[in-house]
Structures are given as C-alpha cells and as structure tokens.
Amino acid sequence: MRKLFRFTLISILAVFFVLGSASGAHDNKGSNGLEDVIIAPSLSFTIETYSGISSRLEGLTIREEPLLRQISYNYRIVNGDREIGRVTLTCQDLRHGGLIFYVESRNLTVDNHICRGRLTLLGPHLTVGKTFVYPDGKRIVGQSSWDYISPTQLISQLPPGIAFLDGEARSLVLGPVDRLEYLGNGVYQEVNTFPVSVRRNANRSEFSFPLADAKGGIIRFWGIIHNQQLVAWEDEAVVAAIQRADLNKTRKFWLDGVYDLVPSSYTPTHPHAFWRCPAQHVGRSFLTKASPYTYAIAVSSMYSAIRTQNRSGFWPTEPQSEWLAEEYGFGPNFYDTRFNTDAAQYLLEAYQKYGDETAFNAARRYADFLCRFAEQYSYRSKNGGYLVPDYQAASGEHRTHTSLNHLLAEMNFLYHMYLATDEVEYRDTADMMLLAVKDTCDEWIKDSGELWYARLPNGDYGYQDYPTLTLNDLRQSLDLITRIYGHPDPDLDRLKSSKEAYNRANGIPLW
C-alpha cells in the first residue's frame, strides 16, 4: 500500500517564503494520493512505491548562487521501518529562465517496477523529439548522428538515452536514465540505460522511470525544462556543439560536472565507464553557444568546477594513470597541469561572460597555486626559465616530463590572468615560462619540422605531439604576447611556422 508523506502548513509556507514562486515548492496531491514536488510551474515530480515500500522525505537543503538557486530533497525509501535505499531530487533554477533537475537513487535493490519516479507535465503535449544514434553502436566522440523520435514513441515509450522534446508551450530535454556501478577513484560504469515510459491525456503528459533495480547500484536521471526552445535547431554551430558534447553515451552530465569515457590507460577502467575530467571541456565550449540548453550546462558546470576545487587550489585526477604509475610511480589523485589549467581558464572566461565573482575567485586560487608550483618545482632552462613538470603525485613526487602544450597553456592562462587583474606576479611567472621555451626553441624542432611532444626529466626530448593542440596553443601565445608587449615573439613564431609546414607537407589539418 502506498503511503503519503504530509508536510505541515508551516513547512509549506517556509519553503514558499524561501523560494518565492521558483522551483522546489510542494503542491497538492498528485494521483493515487501521492504528494507532488513542483520543480517548475508546469512540471512536478512524484515517487511511486508499491508492495509495502514507501518514501519518507527527510528534509531539504538550499544553496543560493548568483546565477542559480539550488534545492535538494532527500528521501528515505523504507520497507516498514527498515531503510532500503535513498533518493535525492535536486533542482537548479537558473533565474534567467530554465531549470535543471537531477534524480538519483542509491542501493534500492528491489524490482524496478516497485519504486519509480514520475514527472507530470501540464499543458500542451510535446510533439517533436530528437535523439542520438551511433554507427554500429560504437561510442566514439563526434560520430553520432541526429534521429527523430517516432510519433508512436512520443506517446508510449521513449528510446533509451537522451531525448530533446519540443512543443508549443515549452521545451524539455530528458537525459538518459542510467544504472551505474561505482568502480572507485571517481569512476562510474554504465551498466544499463532504461527507457522512459510516456502516458498522455488531454492536458498532461506523464514520464515514468525506474528508481530501483534488482541488482542495486546507482540510478541517475537529469533533465532541463524551459518555456523557450532549448535548442536553436537553425543554428548549425549550436547543434554541432551539442552533438559533439553528447551527454548520453560518450559523456555523462551530473551535478558535479561532465564525465568523459575513462581512458583505457587509467585504473579502474571499462569501455562503458566514465570519470569527471577536471577540464570541463563541454562547459567551456558551451560558453560561446547561444541557446538555453548550452547556457544551462555551462552555468551548472561552472558551479561544479568551483565546488570541486580542493583547498590547495587545484582539481585532482582521481583514477590512476598506468603510464604515470609505470614511468614515475604515481598513484591516483594526481595533479595534471593541462586539465587544471583548462578548468581555470574556463572559470575565468565564465566570469568574463556572466560576471560571477565566485568563478573569478576560483580562477585566482588556481593561478596563485600554479605560480607557487612553477617556482618551487620547475626544471630550469639555461637562463633560468621555468620548465614546469606536467604532473605531481598525491605523494608530492613531481619529477616528470614537461610537454610543450602543457607549458604553453599554463603561460597563456597566466597572461590572461594578468590582463584581467594587472597583477605582475602572473605576468612575471608567465614570462619565466616563455623564457624556458625560448631557451629550448631549437631542441623542440625535429629534423622533419615536426615538434617533439615533451622534454624528458633527463633533458632528452620524446613522444609524438598532437596534430593541432600545441599549434593552437602557440597561436594563442603569440596573440597574447602581442597584446601585452606590442609585438609577437620570434621563437614562438618559429615553432608555429615549423609545425604548420610539417602539417601541410603531411596532409594534417592546420586547425
């Protein structure tokens, strides 16, 4: 028999006083005597339970940010008085329009029909749907294509995975309903993706999804709703960026950021496992894309990066790299200078776009950490320049190689910070990195004109460079140095020209 958790009038009024008319208020009873949580003016959430199972709402937490208001509802799922699992509903009201919701259940080891979530959407039906399909089912970034969801599926059962749904009055994106297993060190394996069932009547649509599985684990489901079209389908750049970001099979989106497929050289690993890359490349790429969907992901990812920065000012890579373990004795939770510098650059750019000081303060914390790290741990070039090691282990070990792309990215970020703050420490540290590149300019260039990837701890050079990553870093370096000093640096220009000539001669793209 289902049970109803009742709020007192005081509790309801307290929520409304805090939230006003925004997300997260409790409304009247939904179907079958259950109480709905209003997560948007036309969208509500209900936990449906059967066979003696019931849900008990234990409380809520609220967090205010300049660009969003977040409220989390924490439920205990019980069989009698015995707890058998937990469910959390988190809503992020984006203030300027749109709302993201996240539903997570943990350790609910019962059949998936016994405990389910239900979204109820009032008003006109969503009439057009799109999703991603993958060639031969392979999870390759950028290789998916768009496909329409059939009219029959729109009124019965959506295909497993992400769904972009548009209607007359509003737009809704439903992420995949994934069952995950935690493998350790921040890595989650996707075990199964459940379809969302759809039921309609004249003025409402219900979307039902499982919150439990007989094999246990974690179930995660997210979505975004807006009264404007979430995706500007006529904007090819926006559509292409969303397709590449995926957030379905090759990447996952969650409260703490975007997760990428874990490399096979990391431990733990699995072809369907994901880890949270500190760089948050999707959030950064979405900063320049004008649509409510990309805005929602960019803002949420920005706050995720701010919250996950550690006290030292950086973002550890949680899995172990087998290459770094074999080469340098590294374990998990190491510092990766490139991923971290990309994360901080994202926060600086997000601050410049959105004006949230918390993003700028996080970028500054990392800049200060990077300056200390470079001064303390760098190898020195012949004139004292900073050849910053690419990595530092959790143990403090740092004697690793220095790759050109990492060094340029660090230098570029500190020049950006100098331009944003006029603080000479950032410029001076970047200048020391530039000096190291100038001191070693000839050594980076192979006889073929290609660039070496890295300077090794013994002073030799080795490894294969990326086709365009380092080249684009060099272009950005030249632009920044010209802005600051009034002219480009000739040594960086030589490296760029050599790399461009090599790419042309070998049919490799220049961008």
Do 251 and 387 lie in one domain? The reply is: no
How confident is the model over 463-489, as pLDDT tens digits?
A: 999 999 999 999 999 999 999 999 999
pLDDT value at position 36? 80
Domain interval for residue 141: 9-286
Q: What is the pLDDT of residue 131?
A: 98
Residue 359 binned pLDDT confidence (cut-offs 50, 70, 90): very high
Task: Read off the CATH number of the domain in which 380 is found.
Answer: 1.50.10.20
What is the sign, positive or negative, of the torsion defined by CA atoms of 404, 405, 411, 412?
A: positive
Residues 6 or more apart in contact with residue 360 via CB below 8 angstroms: 347, 348, 351, 420
Q: Are 396 and 387 in contact (CB under 8 A)?
A: no
Q: How many domains does the chain have?
A: 2
| pLDDT score recorded for residue 137 | 81
Whether residue 314 sits in one domain with residue 282: no
Q: 279 and 324 share a domain?
A: no
Residue 15 has pLDDT above 80, yes or no: no
299 inside domain = no
Q: How far apart are CA 174 and CA 81, in angstroms?
A: 33
Residue 38: pLDDT over 70: yes
Query: How would DSSP label each residue in 130-199?
Result: EEEE-GGG---TT--EEEEPPHHHHTSBPPSS-EEEEESS-EEEE--EEEEEEEETTEEEEEEEEPPEEE
- In this predicted model, what pLDDT tens digit does every residue of 415-434 receive, in sequence order? 999 999 999 999 999 999 99
Query: Comparing 36 with 201, which gets the higher pLDDT?
Result: 201
pLDDT digit string (tens) for 204-255? Answer: 999 999 999 999 999 999 999 999 999 999 999 999 999 999 999 999 999 9
Mean pLDDT in residue range 354-364: 98
Residue whose pair of structure tokens reads 């080891």 in the numeric block: 109
285 pLDDT exceeds 90?
Answer: yes
Q: Is residue 389 part of a domain?
A: yes
Note whether 98 and 242 are same-domain residues.
yes
The structure's pTM equals 0.92
Residue 251 lies in a domain: yes
Question: For residue 10, what pLDDT is reported?
Answer: 29
- State the Cα torsion 289-292-293-298 to the nearest 10°: 60
Span 384-394, mean pLDDT?
A: 98
The pLDDT value recorded for residue 34 is 52
User: Average pLDDT, stretch 83-111?
Assistant: 94
pLDDT of 21 strictly over 80 = no
Strand boundaries in 323-456, DSSP class E: 335-336, 379-380, 386-387, 391-392, 402-403, 452-455
| Domain-located, residue 510 | no
pLDDT band at 68 (very low <50, low <70, confident <90, very high): very high
Q: Are residues 169 and 87 in the same domain?
A: yes
Same domain, 280 and 323: no
As a 3-state breakdown, the chain gives helix, strand, coil percent values, each rounded to 5, of 35, 35, 35
Averaged pLDDT of the chain:
92
Q: Identify whether the C-beta of residue 365 lies closer than 8 Å to the C-beta of residue 351.
A: no
